[in-house]
Amino acid sequence: MIKHARTAVKFFVYGLIVGLLFSPGSGEENRKKLLDWAGGSIKSMTE
C-alpha cells in the first residue's frame, strides 16, 4: 500500500514540475500562484 502511495506522489511531483516548465505564465507569476495554492491547502488542512 505504501509503495502505491509513493508512486502516486512521485508522479504527481513530476507532473507538477513539467506543468510549471511549460506553463504560459512567467516564473514569478507561477511561483506566486504555487505558493498561494500551497498556503491555502495547508490552511484548509489545519482548520
Distances (CA, A) of 17 to 8, 24, 36, 47: 14, 14, 17, 28
What is the spatial distance between Cα 43 and Cα 1, in angstroms, rounded to a whole number? 27
Which positions of the chain have pLDDT values less than 50? none
For the chain, what are the domain ranges?
2-46
pLDDT number for residue 10: 92
pLDDT number for residue 11: 94
What is the spatial distance between Cα 21 and Cα 3, in angstroms, rounded to a whole number? 27
Q: What is the phi/psi pair of residue 33, to 5°?
A: -60, -45
